[in-house]
Structure 1
């Protein structure tokens, strides 16, 4: 999938208008990149230019998405939009995009943004003026300095709107999708702008956790309009007069208990109870109540469509009445702060409109409001009176409701306790605490045996823990409960079905789900993971970045994926920053990735320090411990780590994790000089992979195939071609496995190695060169290096050696056969230096050969080398033969 931003003209021709000079109503967006000059000084010219190119790509992409027109730019930008919601959508995505760019470079990157709607005059400059540097289009009018004042007073990361822009954008916020329902809208009162006679109302909108949501600062051109009686001197005098009476007044008129609403908290409005007997009033009164309450600046009202969607996930009939109990459960599931139940009744000949404010966790009434009127015609006025009173009291204090107002996962189950257990499982899974997550998912299915997504959670956690055999039964249970899933969740089930039982089709399934539901974060994350498994790191990054949305409960894992993709691209700074974000969010397994990042740069002390922080009972950091020890030439330490790993993995004899660690153990034996034991380990790995593939069901079939091929490739180096022959014959009868990209590629590498061993290197080169797509496996390059050398193509062989030495990040992070090849990759990277010295000597470049040999000696001191490598080293030092 090509994820590059399409090139387009950022200033397309406007739609023809009757008069190009007539004032036009437009939305103006002004931005200013905070401390852009300081960024250049801190980063340096080249990294800063890379940053600004990435910034420009972001802006072009967002212009296209939100139909914006770029008018001017320097440290900031001026853009025009047809509608305020388009300008707001651009601003929100721009703010999030800047944070992501900053995180990738370990810097704080934010912008100030001002949004205003007003009339502007536009005119085109002549071609001659444009050719000497003028802008193609000029924009002027009072709206422009208004937007500039808003932008200048904004805090870093803040989006400020004028009183004209705010209601237009607020009304259309639903067009932003689910994100629009969770925006925070705040009023910062009236402000005076220099050159503008009237005070202006200023608003802020932003995403919690991203926007500052704090009052703007006074500037020389914009300051808060404070009435005389609220200025400091007047307040001091007033305070002295009022203090004495305040205490007594409090005892006389204690406030009613109320809910401690934060501005723009969410509420659920239950169905209106009409007790008048006039059923024709039902729909009109309910709609009037909702519309009136939506005018509040203190709360957002959960839309009726959203409430009905949640009702579906509760597996209730579409027409279920939203009474006290049902509306309270909806509030708990969606993280709303309270429920409001309206009632219309006839009391003593008068029509009474009342509303109860309910704590959803206890379903108790916190307080109520009512208003009476004469006849049905009075109900609309009474509704306005009740909602006005509610809007005043929703800001009073009651902290008890605030504790649990976090949305629960939006999944289908009728059991609220099962949903809570599932939510805890999601939280544990986000921190890569797979054992705890499995326990919570199992608790959820015990409470609700028909909770299909909790069964699927068990499949996911078992697969993540490299225990795919145990993932099959819960997958089959989830499949049998498909009818209980919402359409999106059913597609999620299909993707996991492919993941376990048809791996060649899995990426297509995840991409389909990600395309249909762009805000469904698991799909984005799994597309990224599949691209990464195929070494398509650049394609993986956009999907991984989307999965770090603040609304994704598993966002922390997205940062780990970003780090792994950056490491595969040799972007060590980006990898370090992303892994730091993941660790800070509780993903302990990212410590080993961070260690690999340091080891790839040969910062071994820091790598060891990070690996020491990994849990002692965690099996998979041993991959990195073995690889780092081999990288340093510490063969005994590598073998000790391999024995520890085998002891941990061997708790289940013949398990897939036990099979995985046999290959790095064999590589450690080889570097220690025990070639016979290394060959035994490689053959045993091939035998066990073939045994697993012969079973009726092998949940790890793709990984077993890749593992067996990698072990066979290693065995060929040790003189055993039979293992590769057996693996390839078995896979020829399994076309579904050969369709898995990694398996198909490694099978070609194994065939090429067999051809090279049979003195047919030219045929091996023909087989390998088409694999060089930019996402090839590291061992494909190793095999091509050997084939070029055997064919006498020394220059091409040397190019491969240089490539292997430059791509140490890939050597460490490549997933391949579930990372079983990491140790071999790292070793081959170092050995390529010795092979380069050998090639240079054979080409008569003796000085260059000695330089390469000195590099090799720095990597692995001569006294530590096993006998067969010591012989090769000494042959480079021996005089050239005539």
Structure 2
């Protein structure tokens, strides 16, 4: 790990991380070892199409130490070079590692410009107390095996020994990405304070992550791009960029290469890997990963993911079987991805029964049923108290929900309330821009903008614009894609009303295409869903009129 830290300062060298080597061995059907020996390292490196294998060793020579590195040309199975450095005692080992690193970089013909760049020596990176480094190294090993909670404990123990250790702060910031933004910022701040002790690649990672958290998204893009250009094989850079493009920008066009690289380079958790496979349209690989998830960790969460994959693949029976298996593990009535699997499986009655048994009233379910007045009352009952930081998000959700009423003055009133409270969570500028272009008559610009976004809301509106352009076959495809969307996270408060409306809109497009029977089936689904809907809903009246035409 220490030698790797020194070598990876070179842009000429991209090391195959331990997690990727383990993933390569797993994919090849090999049992995962506690220690990767030379034979397994050679096998994994060849499978990963590496150019060379570097084999380090440290030998005790009776008080002195010898640091050796052998390099093997994997294409020809020939030795490339061997370098050795002697250290007069343990205290001199770090300097010997730097000398070995310098020699390796020279042997691998590092660019003269890179070689001339100032370097962070290993002694600057390593804490004064070696116990902190031991905990850090153990944490990196555990993380490479997917044991993140145990790794977090080791990083915390490293900081208990050296509270300013920047590499441990950086790793904790990465682990806190999804769970604790405040803790992540704290660790990033600490890493920045010790940035002079960080190698160049880790400096770029800290700065890019910090820019992302602060909402400086263009700066974050530039920092990630620059770092990835320098270290294209580093998994953390690609994972960070993929997260930026999916969770912050929803930018499919820009994010695609980063997701591809993250799936290739990193040992992603099952949920993230499944999501990325689905977004990229790699549905067979998503199914393989979801099945592996249920085998390795059978439970509600893994079977929920399997249900989602089957739903996106339009395998309704299999999706429902996995959804019901997920519920067998307990955890309350269906929500999240499970909720939408039941909806797509035309099993809303089951949803209602389970939520009623739990003694809860779900506003999304009322909205799906077309009971907008009841849904609005249920939604308003969820309002956080005055002064709560969540108040702005609540108004954002109300603003989205007002979309279903089709009354711009009401929508704008909620948007103003939301912005007044300082929340901008629901104001997706690219979607607003595309919708403005549509309403101003530039349909092609709107289509281009909406098609590039990885969001259910964008997919729904894309169907609307395509239908308005007379491109009904494409519109029908987008309405179907909207209902099968892989990540229903309810960030768009109108989803529960848009879902049934999409059935009607697709039916209209199918009628225009002469596919009357398929159109009638969709209308019947909608009318069954809205058998207790508010009678004054315009879409309900239009759907009944459409059905009358279709059965003539």
Aligned in 2, Cα 1:539/1:863: closer, same or farther, shift over 3 Å?
closer
CA distance in 2, matches of 1:745, 1:430: 37
Alignment correspondent of 1:650: none
CA distance in 2, matches of 1:526, 1:838: 42
Contact 1:666-1:679 within 8 A present in 2 as well: yes
Matched, 1:572 2:283: yes
CA displacement, residues 323-350 of structure 1 (integer Å, 9 cap, x when unaligned): 247659999xx9xxxxxxxxxxxxxxxx
- 1:663-812 matches, within 5 Å, as 665-680=362-377, 692=389, 712-718=399-405, 721=408, 724-726=411-413, 728-729=415-416, 743-748=428-433, 752=436, 761-762=439-440, 768-775=446-453, 777-786=455-464, 793=468, 795-796=470-471, 799-806=474-481, 811-812=485-486
CA distance in 2, matches of 1:687, 1:265: 59
Aligned in 2, Cα 1:839/1:586: closer, same or farther, shift over 3 Å?
closer
The Cα of 1:416 is off from its aligned counterpart by 4.3
Alignment correspondent of 1:517: 231
CA distance in 2, matches of 1:605, 1:727: 40
CA distance in 2, matches of 1:432, 1:673: 44
- 1:444-459 matches, within 5 Å, as 444-459=158-173
The Cα of 1:522 is off from its aligned counterpart by 0.4
My pick for the range that moved more, 799-808 or 265-274, is 265-274
Contact 2:516-2:550 within 8 A present in 1 as well: no
The Cα of 1:450 is off from its aligned counterpart by 1.4
Matched, 1:629 2:316: no
The Cα of 1:826 is off from its aligned counterpart by 8.2
The Cα of 1:267 is off from its aligned counterpart by 1.6
CA distance in 1, matches of 2:175, 2:474: 42
The Cα of 1:293 is off from its aligned counterpart by 13
Alignment correspondent of 2:309: 597
Alignment correspondent of 1:862: 528
CA distance in 1, matches of 2:69, 2:191: 41
CA distance in 1, matches of 2:146, 2:70: 46
Aligned in 2, Cα 1:509/1:325: closer, same or farther, shift over 3 Å?
same
Of residues 555, 568, 576, the one that matches 2:267 is 555
Matched, 1:498 2:211: yes
Alignment correspondent of 2:189: 476
The Cα of 1:596 is off from its aligned counterpart by 1.2
The Cα of 1:493 is off from its aligned counterpart by 1.4
Contact 1:666-1:681 within 8 A present in 2 as well: yes
Contact 2:391-2:421 within 8 A present in 1 as well: no
Alignment correspondent of 1:486: 199
Matched, 1:267 2:57: yes
CA distance in 2, matches of 1:806, 1:293: 50
- 1:160-309 matches, within 5 Å, as 184=38, 206-207=43-44, 210=47, 266-269=56-59
CA displacement, residues 744-794 of structure 1 (integer Å, 9 cap, x when unaligned): 224446x75xx99xxxx55695883451443363323423544676xxx47
CA displacement, residues 607-656 of structure 1 (integer Å, 9 cap, x when unaligned): 35545459969899931112112222333544677799999xxxxxxxxx
Aligned in 2, Cα 1:485/1:721: closer, same or farther, shift over 3 Å?
same
Aligned in 2, Cα 1:423/1:865: closer, same or farther, shift over 3 Å?
farther
The Cα of 1:880 is off from its aligned counterpart by 8.6
CA distance in 2, matches of 1:686, 1:798: 41
3-state DSSP class of the match of 1:450? coil
3-state DSSP class of the match of 1:464? coil
The Cα of 1:721 is off from its aligned counterpart by 4.0
The Cα of 1:805 is off from its aligned counterpart by 1.3
- RMSD (Å) for aligned C-alpha atoms: 5.7
Alignment correspondent of 1:833: 503
Aligned in 2, Cα 1:605/1:787: closer, same or farther, shift over 3 Å?
closer
CA distance in 1, matches of 2:88, 2:407: 72
The Cα of 1:802 is off from its aligned counterpart by 2.6
CA displacement, residues 432-474 of structure 1 (integer Å, 9 cap, x when unaligned): 7765554443333223211223233333333312x32443333
Structure 2 unmatched runs, 5+: 1-13, 30-35, 101-123
Contact 2:139-2:151 within 8 A present in 1 as well: yes
CA distance in 2, matches of 1:795, 1:645: 46
CA distance in 1, matches of 2:235, 2:387: 36
Alignment correspondent of 1:323: 89
Aligned in 2, Cα 1:728/1:515: closer, same or farther, shift over 3 Å?
farther
Contact 1:679-1:715 within 8 A present in 2 as well: no
The Cα of 1:881 is off from its aligned counterpart by 13
Aligned in 2, Cα 1:720/1:453: closer, same or farther, shift over 3 Å?
farther
Q: Which has the larger radius of gyration?
A: 1
3-state DSSP class of the match of 1:669? helix
Contact 2:155-2:172 within 8 A present in 1 as well: yes
CA distance in 2, matches of 1:862, 1:481: 62
The Cα of 1:592 is off from its aligned counterpart by 3.9
Alignment correspondent of 1:813: 487
The Cα of 1:511 is off from its aligned counterpart by 2.3
Aligned in 2, Cα 1:622/1:832: closer, same or farther, shift over 3 Å?
closer
3-state DSSP class of the match of 2:278? helix
Contact 2:69-2:82 within 8 A present in 1 as well: no
The Cα of 1:598 is off from its aligned counterpart by 0.6
3-state DSSP class of the match of 2:57? strand
Aligned in 2, Cα 1:832/1:575: closer, same or farther, shift over 3 Å?
same
The Cα of 1:521 is off from its aligned counterpart by 1.5
CA distance in 1, matches of 2:206, 2:548: 64
CA distance in 1, matches of 2:84, 2:334: 49
Contact 2:56-2:69 within 8 A present in 1 as well: no
Structure 1 unmatched runs, 5+: 1-88, 110-181, 187-203, 212-262, 275-285, 308-320, 335-409, 648-661, 696-703
Contact 1:682-1:714 within 8 A present in 2 as well: no
CA distance in 1, matches of 2:330, 2:181: 20
The Cα of 1:291 is off from its aligned counterpart by 10
Contact 1:801-1:836 within 8 A present in 2 as well: yes
Q: Which has the higher helix share?
A: 2
Aligned in 2, Cα 1:787/1:268: closer, same or farther, shift over 3 Å?
closer
CA displacement, residues 144-193 of structure 1 (integer Å, 9 cap, x when unaligned): xxxxxxxxxxxxxxxxxxxxxxxxxxxxxxxxxxxxxx99589xxxxxxx
Of residues 172, 178, 200, the one that matches 1:464 is 178
3-state DSSP class of the match of 1:768? helix
Q: Which has the higher strand share?
A: 1
The Cα of 1:667 is off from its aligned counterpart by 2.4
Alignment correspondent of 1:24: none
Alignment correspondent of 1:441: 155
CA displacement, residues 525-584 of structure 1 (integer Å, 9 cap, x when unaligned): 2222333344455764544454456xx7x5143x75553233124332132234456677
CA distance in 1, matches of 2:544, 2:445: 33
Aligned in 2, Cα 1:826/1:329: closer, same or farther, shift over 3 Å?
farther
3-state DSSP class of the match of 2:335? helix
Aligned in 2, Cα 1:640/1:577: closer, same or farther, shift over 3 Å?
same
The Cα of 1:670 is off from its aligned counterpart by 0.7
Aligned in 2, Cα 1:584/1:765: closer, same or farther, shift over 3 Å?
same
Contact 1:798-1:836 within 8 A present in 2 as well: no
Aligned in 2, Cα 1:620/1:641: closer, same or farther, shift over 3 Å?
closer
Contact 1:430-1:556 within 8 A present in 2 as well: no
How many residue pairs were aligned? 486
CA displacement, residues 127-146 of structure 1 (integer Å, 9 cap, x when unaligned): xxxxxxxxxxxxxxxxxxxx
